[in-house]
Amino acid sequence: MIPAEQAATLPLRFQIGARTLARIDRRLWLVPLSLADALEARLPALPPLGRTNDGYLVTSLPVERAAALAWTAGGLIAFERQRYTRHWIDLTIGADAYLARLSGNTRSAIKRKTRKLAEASGGTLEIARFRTPDELAAFHPLARAVSATTYQERLMDAGLPDTAAFRTRAALQAAAGEVRAWLLSIAGTPVAYLFCPVEKGTVLYQYLGHDPAFNDLSPGAVLQMAATRDLLEEGGLQRFDFTEGEGQHKRQFATDGVPCVDLLLLRGTLANRAALASLRVFDGGAAAAKRAVQRLGLEEWARKVRR
């Protein structure tokens, strides 16, 4: 059985890129599927809904299982919140095979970005690796300084947490060998970070960001390549999981992917029907706008506006 989180008040976001324009709160059971669940096309068992809850949000559900889950949840309205490929890297194939799996354009772009960043740093580019509890204690304040500048923290509340609970959990993970982290610095100043828990041989793409002042130098891509090389050379790991959602960065670095949907299952109340109707209109308009931007070649401009 795939475990569910506790039911909680969760926002249904009216969102363009990283920007949330509005939200409607509903009390939902969150049922997240892991990459292994998605690859094996497991159908989650939904917990009892309870009288005070509005429904379920099932994430990373394999596309081919969506109709079956909607049928088993009879009486609830099924609404596809987003469809995406859950991308991942096969860490068992070795560095040479990995590079061969990347497109020629991606390999050239990574080399160009790495060279450009190295030249701009004047020989002061440094990438540090962190695994032990003491190393994580040193990593956290440096990465937090970067996180405070990022759009992930400003717009999505998804920056590196700055709490005692997070630091304690990270120390315990590190003591068990279940965390990998990296920090890219120029002239001693942290510019980009990546923090990844490890669960049963799968490395999770959890917290990341770079200082927007260095956007033109692509430090995030350079750091991702360095981290991927480290993991491929380490051995004993199975996958690097880019987790939920799409993104050019994920598509460029991934070797594989599984088509997924995030599925809302809501009681058929008048309020819920109105909320879903609003989301359907908004999502349809956003999709039409995205197609227009792609047709006009304005993706880079749109990305800057969203952030």
Euclidean distance between CA atoms 177 and 194, whole angstroms: 16
* Per-residue model confidence (pLDDT) at position 102: 93
Local confidence band at 4 (pLDDT 50, 70, 90 cut-offs): low
* Per-residue model confidence (pLDDT) at position 284: 84
DSSP 7-67: PEEEEEEEEETTEEEEEEEEEEEEEEPPHHHHHTTPPPPPPP--TT--EEEEEEEEGGGHH
Local confidence band at 303 (pLDDT 50, 70, 90 cut-offs): low
The answer to whether 30 and 265 are in contact (CB under 8 A) is no
* Per-residue model confidence (pLDDT) at position 293: 66
* Per-residue model confidence (pLDDT) at position 3: 61
Percentage of the chain lying above the pLDDT 90 cut: 75
Nearest of 9, 40, 11, 44 to residue 27 by alpha carbon: 9
Between 191 and 294, name the one with better pLDDT. Answer: 191
Q: What is the pLDDT of residues 239-262, one digit of tens each?
A: 999 999 988 999 999 999 999 999
Between 50 and 292, name the one with better pLDDT. Answer: 50
